[in-house]
Amino acid sequence: MHALFYLENEDLSETQIKNIVQASKVLESPFGYRTSGIEGSKYGKSDYSLQIWPFEQAIIHAGAKKFRLKEVEEVSSRVSEFLDSYPELFIIDENSLVKEGNDPQLWTVAAYKYFSKV
Average pLDDT over residues 30-41: 84
Is pTM beyond 0.85? Reply is yes
Q: Where are the beta strands (DSSP E) in 10-106?
A: 28-29, 32-33, 42-43, 46-47, 51-52, 89-93, 96-100
Is the pLDDT confidence value at 79 over 70? Answer: yes
**Buried-exposed string 48-71: b where 16+ CB fall within 10 A, e elsewhere:** bbbbbbbbbbbbbbbbbbebebee
- Looking at residue 47, its pLDDT comes to 79
In this prediction, residue 43 has a pLDDT band, given cuts at 50, 70 and 90, of low
Residue span of the structural domain in which 13 resides: 2-117
Total structural domains within the chain? 1
Work out the average pLDDT over 39-59: 82
Residue 44 has pLDDT above 80, yes or no: no
Number of Cβ within 10 Å of residue 84's Cβ equals 8
